[in-house]
Structures are given as C-alpha cells and as structure tokens.
Structure 1
C-alpha cells in the first residue's frame, strides 16, 4: 500500500484520528509508509491542487475550498472537472465566499475576464430577476442562475420570490447552488423528496454529512485527506464526526486495521459502514 494511493490516503486519514503511537505501529503492520518528511507542505499542496481537479466531487466540496478565499485554491477550483459556470464566473470576478469577507479577491495571472463564461442574453435584456423569470427550461434557468454571485444578488432573488414566486426551473437551478442561502432553499422546498434530490445534486449540509453519508468510502476519505490542505477550515468537522467511530471500532487493534486496508479499495458503502464492517470482521 502506497501513501499517495487512494487507499493509502484513505487509511492514512483515518489513522490520523487515533493515538499517534498506535498509528505508527499500525502503519508498519499494514505496510503503509509515513508521509515523505522531505516533501514540504507547499509541495504537497501543489500536488494536491493539481491531482484533485480530475476527481469528481459534490458541489459543496468545491464551495468549502472557495471559502478559503485563497487565489491559488480558486485556480484549482476553476480547473476542476466538477466546477460550474457560476463558480468560474465568481472566481474570475474575484468574488469572496468566506463568511463576512469582502472583495474583490486577487485573481491569479492567467484567469482574466476573457475566460468568464458568456453573460446570458436574457440577463443583458431583462436583468437578474427578469432573466430568472424568463427561464423556460432547465438550461436557461441554470444559465440565468449563474449570474447570482454576491450576497446582494441573493437578497434580490429572495425579495423577488417573496413578491411573486419564481418559476419552478429557476427555483431548482438556485436550490442546487451550494452557496444558496439555507433560508431561501427552505422556502423553495422542504419536502423529504425535495431535500433528497438536492443532496443527490451534491449540496451537503456539512463536511460531517459528506464524511458519514457519502460514498464510496475510499473516494470520500481520499478527498478528506486532501481537505487538510484544500479546505482546512472545514475538514475538522469531518474528523470530529468520524473520530468517535474510529476509536470505538478500530482504535489500536491491528487486525481491524488490516481488514480495513484489505476492504477499502473495493468497498462500495460509506466510511461509517467501512469502519463498522472492518471492526466486526476483525
């Protein structure tokens, strides 16, 4: 097992949740090397920023990275295969995502305004709210929704919907934006089927939700291991959600970790199911 593999990163992330002495012993038992001490944090960060752009992730994961308001991380989101036009537009315009922060942010060289996705024709003709009301298909609604960037835009949308409900396509296109204000999304729908569809679209409550309910486990844990560099302000929420479970079912038990290392590559369930299964088998 290699530390830079998906399975190695997944197991390494979980080992970081137990006593360091036990973790070092278990690494030796399952053949997982310690991280390269000669690789600087910046060098590892550069590798992670490049490699993760080819890894599909829920939209909320990209939002957690954007919340760092780091121009270099924003570049990695712009390049990411899961980024949409709304995110790319915001990045090119230097829009901040961190709570309470004001912009514009510095935009790295190479991300000039010429790379901004085309401004919708309906937006030019009718303005933000008008474009949303003109959306007669999911495609046109998503295109109009990509122009909602700043808190003032979201406020305008909330006021417009309060005056006269927006069309269904526009409501859905806004609901599946990970940065949609929770109170607005709740106004659009609270039925269990609605919230399930929103989650299926990649909008998650928190990193804890991602860590415990999303799968497959190896993929999620690999992303979370990168999160220690890409979204450090939020990854602790995932660690806190998994730590009690890991300590209860795995702790310092070498056999349980050996089983987990054997299962992780082919396990289709989430991280909670992986940990519980490994502990039960051992």
Structure 2
C-alpha cells in the first residue's frame, strides 16, 4: 500500500487520528510508509493536486479552499472539474472569500480572465437583480446567479428579495451556490425536501458533514488527507467528527486496521460505516 494511493491516503488520514506510537506500529503491520512532510502547493502540483482537480467533489469543498484566500490554491480550484462559472469568475477577478477579507487578491498568472464564459445578455440589459427576475428557465437563472460575486452583490440580492420575492428559478439557482449566505438560503426554503435537494447539489453544513455522511469513504478520506494543504482552517472539524469513532472501533488494534486496509478500496459506504464495519469484522 502506497501513501499517495487513494487507499493509502485514506488509511493514513484515519491513522492520524490515533496515538502516534500506535499509528507507527500499525503502519509497519499493514505496509503503509511514513507520511511525507508538509509540502507547498507548488511541490505537489504535478501529483496530488492535479489528480484532485480531476476528481468531483461537493462544491462546498471548493469553497473551503477559496476561504483560505490563497492565490496559489485558487488556481487549482479554477482548474477543478467541480468549479462552477461563478467560482471561476470570482477567482479571475481576485474576489476574496475569507472571513476577514483585506481587499482584492492577487490572481495567479495561470488564471486567464478571457477564459470566462461570456457575461449573460440579461445581465448587460437589466443589471443583476433585473437578470435574476427575468430568468424564465433554470439555465437563465443560473447564468444570472453566476454574476453574484462580491459580498455586496449578496446584500443587493437579499434586499431585492426582501422588497419583492425573487422568482423560483432564481431562488433555486442562488440557493445551490455554496457561498449563498445561510440566512438568505433560509428565506428561500427550510422544508426537508428543499434542504435535501440543496445538499444533493453539493452544499454541505461543514467538513464534519462531509466526513461522516458522504461516500464512498476512500474518495472522501483521500480529499480530507489533503485538507492540511487545501483547507487547513476547516479540516480540523472533520478530524474532530471522526476521531472518537476511530478510537472506539479501531484504536490500536492491528487486526482491525488490517481489515480496514483490505476493505477501503471497494467499500461503497461512508467513512463512519467503513470504520464500524472494519472494527466489527476484526
């Protein structure tokens, strides 16, 4: 088992949640090498990060990366298969996403603004709110919603909806934006079917939700294994959600970890189910 393989990264992430001496012993038992030291985005750009950009993830995961306000990381989000038009527009314009923005970000030279999709015609004719009100299809509404970039844009949309509720297509197109302010999304809908559809669209409550409820486990854990590089401010929430489970069901038991290493590649459930299953089998 290699550390940089999907299964190796998945097991390695979980081993990081137990006592370091136990983890070292178990690594030797299952043939997993010691983890590499901390690397910069430039160091990992030709390996893990390129692979990451080709792997679909919920859009909220990309938002967690953007919240770091790191131009080097932003260029990888810009290339990602799951990045939507709005994200690419924002990255190309240096829009910050962090909790305490200090102004426009530097834009990496690899991000070319001319590669942006064209500005929607309705936006040019009617402005932001007008384009959202004119959207008579989901496609038109999503095109208009892709022009909501700055925090000031979200305030404008909130005020417009408060003045006169936006049409259904516009509300849905805005709701499935991972950066839609929670209070605005709550105005658009709170019933169970609505929130379920929003989550299916890739909008998550946070990293703990991703770590415990999404699958397959090998995929999710591989992404989380890169969390210290991609979204260091957020990955701790995922670790905290899984740590008690890992310690209770696997702990320092070599047999349980050996079973987990055998299961992880073909297991279709989430990480919680993987850990519980491995512990029960052992």
Q: Which moved more, 1:114-123 or 1:159-168?
A: 114-123
Give CA deviations for 1:173-229 in whole Å, capped at 9, x if unaligned: 000000000000000000001000000000000000000000000000000001111
- Show the 5 A alignment for 1:1-282: 1-36=1-36, 40-41=39-40, 44-46=43-45, 47-282=47-282
Distance 1:163 1:41, change over 3 A: closer
Give CA deviations for 1:11-50 in whole Å, capped at 9, x if unaligned: 000000001100010001111111246x855565423322
List alignment gaps of at least 5 residues for structure 2: none
Give CA deviations for 1:251-276 in whole Å, capped at 9, x if unaligned: 10001101100110111110011111
Distance (Å, rounded) in 2 between the aligned partners of 1:221 and 1:7: 9
Distance (Å, rounded) in 1 between the aligned partners of 2:65 and 2:48: 12
Distance (Å, rounded) in 2 between the aligned partners of 1:110 and 1:205: 31
Distance (Å, rounded) in 2 between the aligned partners of 1:250 and 1:104: 46
Superposed CA RMSD: 1.2
Q: Indicate conservation of the 8 Å contact 2:122/2:130, yes or no.
A: yes
Give CA deviations for 1:66-110 in whole Å, capped at 9, x if unaligned: 001111111000000010100000000000000121321000113
Distance (Å, rounded) in 2 between the aligned partners of 1:136 and 1:27: 57
Secondary structure (helix, strand or coil) at the match of 1:139 reads helix
Number of equivalences: 281
Q: Indicate conservation of the 8 Å contact 2:41/2:49, yes or no.
A: no
TM-score (norm 1): 0.97
Q: Indicate conservation of the 8 Å contact 1:160/1:166, yes or no.
A: yes
Distance (Å, rounded) in 1 between the aligned partners of 2:57 and 2:110: 24
List alignment gaps of at least 5 residues for structure 1: none
Secondary structure (helix, strand or coil) at the match of 1:265 reads coil
Distance 1:202 1:133, change over 3 A: same
